[in-house]
Chains A and B, each alone.
Chain A
Amino acid sequence: MSELVSYDEAVAAFEPVLGLEVHTELNTKTKMFCGCQNSFGGEPNTHTCPVCLGLPGSLPSVNAKAIESAIRIGLALNCSIASWCRFARKNYFYPDMAKDYQISQYDEPLCFDGYLDVEVDGETYRVPIERAHMEEDAGKLTHVGGSGRIQGADYSLVDYNRAGTPLIEIVTKPVRGVGAKAPQVAKAYVAALRDILRSLGVSDVRMEQASLRCDANVSLMPWGSDELGTRTETKNVNSLRTVEAALTYEIRRQGAVLLSGGKVKQETRHWNENGYTLPGRSKEEAEDYRYFPEPDLVPVAPSREWVDQLRASLPEPPAQRRARLQGEWGLTDLEMRDILGADALELIAATVEAGAAPQAARKWWLGELNRLAKEADVELDAVGMSPVQVAELQALVDAGTLTDKLARQVIEGVVAGEGTPAEVVEKRGLKVVGGSALDDAVAAALEANPSAVESIKAGRQQAIGALIGAVMKSMKGQADAGQVRQLIMEKLG
């Protein structure tokens, strides 16, 4: 590990300049250049064919849906779309790519010159985007022996199921003028990108499954200088938290090197889960990819009409959507932050769409359902209750059929797979009971608690709690406490 200076010391002396490369796997049904199924995992080497195994004589063919997704991504990132562009061969020898080259794009990216506005601490920063181009993913290596790392391994195993998965690489221009906020801006950028990709429905954007990956470049230059410093590139940055942590670490490390009069070495580094970066030793050693136009594929030339049509069908940008919904729902910034933190925005939106009031929808998703999801250690959207069912539950509460307390039991039932809210109410017999049964219970409670009755008559209103409690107990909770209070007051009044 290297020497570090404090973050404040580093950014007092130097301006950080960022560069971010994000790879996202598209969720098309098939791979980029062959009809093999594009899916995460599976038995090794069962989703392969001569094309993605790079066997002689095989020829790639371009997945139309992948091109469409790439254009939509470019448009959502405010990019220009090339009217004509080509694929290129990027040559390298590494066992994760059986062909010994990757089909990518070189100087003719499909999408270029865009930007994405991100917000940090209430301020908006514009991240300029250089390009978004198409390429194919590599296979998956497992290193065997040694410490399980590539260095010192006895040998490696290759699974080509992932080879040929459509990938979009989104590259920023140097991001300047963000100062000490650089790591936060980088994190906000990746989060915003993730939200956009999710809203477009083009990728699963699960960083932990590597369907969204980030390489974070950073360099330091003295404040006021115009000459970019030497950058390092940190790979293996596989969570939003890590984006921020890795950049913060690199800024402190580079700051220490420069402040002690040294020079930053241009290199690829790897993020270590224990909170530091280490120089990597990998295929960069012979970094001469000898790009040339892919002779097996013809150029891609999206028509103006097609691009316009895709532009017109883009969903509302996530940031705009958030602001609109917050306004429509009348939520505070804090309430909104909790919703976003719990990844509940779309679930609440769908629940409201299904007829529930926003505050009620918010209450269930952030309360009981969030708790159950955490308990089961699953994402909120996999908790086992749909937005429509939550709206149905709230309708029962609104109609007075359920109290909040009973509603929570209904949620447990739905999540446990006992059926729809109405079915769970029926099966568990959870309906609020009114009518003569309730009248009888109230009468019985008054008779059984003469001292409480006396207290109330003497003006000590708080004594009513004991009576309500007694009624609720005899009704096994299936009564509305407000209604019980009213009945008691009527009887005593």
Chain B
Amino acid sequence: MALSTDEVARLAALARVDLSPEELAKLAPQLDVILDAVARVSEIAGDDIKPSSHAFEITNVFRPDEVRPSISQEAALSGAPAEEDGKFRVPRILEED
């Protein structure tokens, strides 16, 4: 399959995982092995096997539209590294133009 280190670098950037060039070089072949293994599954599956995204062949699992208690603001913010005015405080998103 031959995944290039550039492609892995892009995936790492998209997933916000900071990888050094050494790590990229090490991980690219490993990801290759995984992709190959998944590709084997597609080869084995014949036309009679439907693609699936779920272990069970069930559909339409719905919940009635009835309000259930939410958690408190305090509980919601309990895992936040920073908070202000009842809101989650996050670092600057974009730099100045």
Contacts and interface: CB of A to CB of B under 8 A. Distances in A.
B84 interface: yes
B60 A298 contact: yes
Nearest 10 A-B pairs (CB), nearest first? Answer: A35-B68, A293-B53, A65-B65, A64-B62, A157-B87, A301-B59, A44-B86, A158-B88, A152-B96, A61-B63
Given A50-B71, A151-B97, A44 B87 contact: yes
Nearest to B90: A95
Interface of B: 10, 13-14, 16, 53-54, 56, 58-73, 76-77, 79, 84-97
Given A153-B92, A157-B87, A298-B56, A35 B67 contact: yes
A483 B69 CA distance: 64
Interface stretch (A180-188, A281-289, A320-328): A281-289
A43 B86 CA distance: 8
Interface of A: 28-30, 34-37, 43-50, 53, 55, 61-67, 84, 86, 91, 93-95, 141-144, 146, 150-160, 281-282, 286, 288, 290, 293-295, 297-302
Contacts of B67: 29-30, 35-37
| Interface hub of A155, A281, A297 (most chain B Cβ within 10 A) | A155
Given A45-B73, A45-B76, A301-B60, A157 B14 contact: no
A36 B69 CA distance: 7
Contacts of A37: 67, 70
B7 to A, nearest CB: 11
B94 A48 contact: no
B85 A44 contact: yes
Contact of A298 (B58, B76, B77, B93): B58
A45 B59 contact: no
6 contacts: A35-B67, A35-B69, A143-B93, A159-B86, A299-B53, A300-B60
B93 A156 contact: yes
Given A35-B67, A93-B16, A146 B96 contact: yes
Given A46-B72, A65-B65, A156-B92, A281 B87 contact: no
A48 B72 CA distance: 8
Given A146-B96, A282-B94, A64 B64 contact: yes
Nearest to B86: A44
Contact of B70 (A44, A48, A62, A288): A48
A25 to B, nearest CB: 14
